[in-house]
Amino acid sequence: MAASPPRPRVMVLPFPAQGHVMPLMELSHRLVDHGFEVVFVNTDFNHARILAATAGETVIPAGGGTIDLVSFPDGMGPDGDRTDIGKLLEGLPEAMLGGLEETIRSKEIRWVVADVSMSFVLELVPTAGVRVALFSTFSAAIFALRLHVPKMIEDGIIDETGSVKRNERIHLNPKMPAIDATELPWFSLGKSQESRGAMIQSLVKNNQTFRLAETIVCNTFREIESAALALLPIPALAIGPLEAPKSTLAAGHFWAEDETCLPWLDAQAPGSVVYVAFGSLTVFDAERLQELADGLVLAGRPFLWVVRPNFADGVGEGWLDAFRRRVAGEGLVVGWAPQQRVLAHPSVACFVSHCGWNSTMEGVRHGVPFLCWPYFADQFLNQSYICDLWCTGLRISADERGIVTKEEIRGKVARLLGDEGIKARALSLKRAACASVADGRSSHQDLLKLVNLLRED
Ligand code: UDP
């Protein structure tokens, strides 16, 4: 019997943050389904966290293929502040390029699927003979906005050092979301003026090199982002919304999922639970935390709230234990939830969210109305999609001190859950999202286009 041909091998390279590792891991599973071997690259730091969260289990996709986990240093010391995205981005090329090139050669890799934030790997196109597909973990609208950065500098709205010169509402197309210049994602990602400036300069530089990539793959779907996709500089593929792999061990979580919330949800009435989660990076101070906690109690509905171990600044474990005792029976607090399974649960009524793009796509896919509480990065633009274009959620407002009060939380939860129009639109968006990934429809067709491209020599 003739031996079956070797599976084509693809390197998948996420930016080292939770909201990037997870969708690229989801894509890796789809690629394995289509016959690929995946070499998945983490930083050493995240590799260790993922193994710790999954008790050392490695990724075993269904269907026989493999996802080979490899890792490299990220250029930071053991105590480096990895939440300073600007600083992290600065050090990654030097720390990783050598190891990536060596792995590409030794494993005979022809294609790299690289996070847009890791587009420094395009430097290897001429030297290592590799082909690159970029992957955006953000909306296509964000990508279009980053291409617009040089024009915003030219127009005197922002400058190269990462400062806003003139605050203006940026709106590239009526079918796209709008934000104020002060809310542009890159300003909030660098913690110092220096790292913000470095980020703007690297954006401008990367805008030139994107053309070395052969496609941009987005975790979105055409029915919601056709206007933004049309602005991208090279052919774009919209393959979303991506879905978590069946085995939770295989998802690349940095924290262990607390599955006790699933039987708890089973015990709640359909459409009753307020789900509250702010992704992997948002941090609350003690005052905001207390208002949110009191607001959830005041709202008078069962709630499931994710409070990550590093979520609250300057608040001890004792606070959380006391709160858990106070709300026992009414609400459940977990450290990290199986979010996609939570959002799919019929007991969930709404999602109080920071509007990270993954959370946004997950809420859309499951037809859940949003209470939007953006914190930084692309979240303000995503909020504009939800509240201004899709009309599937409400904004939460801070008072004059910048605090979201408990009364605001109570009032907005009640308004959101009483709004039948929002519920109907969220369900219609869910139908569009589910249709797009069905066989033969737009996202499925784009996935097949990607698969065919990655099979090319
Ligand atoms: N997530 C999760 N459990 C949680 C909270 C979040 O699995 O308790 C996942 C969520 O499903 C999403 C990702 O973490 O896929 C967060 O990505 P997102 O873009 O929403 O936010 P970020 O963490 O990048 O700010």
pLDDT, tens digit only, all 457 positions of the chain: 556 667 899 999 999 999 999 999 999 999 999 999 999 999 999 999 998 888 766 655 555 668 899 999 999 998 898 988 878 888 999 999 999 999 999 999 999 999 999 999 999 999 999 999 999 999 999 999 999 999 999 999 998 887 899 999 999 999 999 999 999 888 777 778 887 887 888 788 878 888 899 999 999 999 999 999 999 989 999 999 999 887 656 678 999 999 999 999 999 999 999 999 999 999 999 999 999 999 999 999 999 999 998 899 888 889 999 999 999 989 999 999 999 999 999 999 999 999 999 999 999 999 999 999 999 889 999 999 999 999 999 999 999 999 999 999 999 999 999 999 999 999 999 999 999 999 999 999 999 999 999 999 8
Of 296, 176, 260, 271, the residue nearest 225 (C-alpha): 176
Ligand 1 residue neighbourhood (C-beta within 6 Å): 18-19, 22, 277, 279-281, 306, 336-337, 339-340, 356-359, 362
Nearest Cα residue to atom 6 of ligand 1: 279
Pocket test for ligand 1, best of 15, 18, 303, 357 (most atoms within 8 A of CB): 18
Distance 279 CA to ligand 1 centre (A): 4
Minimum-distance ligand 1 atom for the alpha carbon of 251: 7
Nearest Cα residue to atom 11 of ligand 1: 339
Nearest Cα residue to atom 13 of ligand 1: 19
Distance 273 CA to ligand 1 centre (A): 19
Distance 357 CA to ligand 1 centre (A): 9
